[in-house]
Amino acid sequence: MLSNYAKVSRLHVKKVQGLPSAFSFRITRAYRAFFYFQNPDHAIFFDLDHR
């Protein structure tokens, strides 16, 4: 289910360079959340950062 949200274009999901299974998405224009999928139904959010 969560993996479907990774495909929503409004979130601007991007693969994180240097971290093989990590992704980030836009919270606002200035902030992004970083996460990876532990399994198809569980995402682990490990950082919020100013762009």
Cα–Cα distance measured from residue 42 to residue 27, given in angstroms and rounded to the nearest whole number: 19
Q: Tens place of pLDDT for every residue, the chain, 51 residues? A: 455 655 667 778 899 999 999 999 998 989 999 999 998 889 999 999 997
Looking at residue 4, what is its pLDDT?
64
- Rounded to a whole number of angstroms, the distance between the first and last alpha carbons of the chain is 27
| Structure token pair of residue 28 | 């606002």
Q: What is the DSSP string of the chain?
A: -HHHHTT-GGG--EEPTTSTTEEEEESSSSEEEEEEEEETTEEEEEEEEE-
Residue 22: what pLDDT?
Answer: 95
Report pLDDT for 45: 95
Predicted local distance difference test score (pLDDT) of residue 51: 76
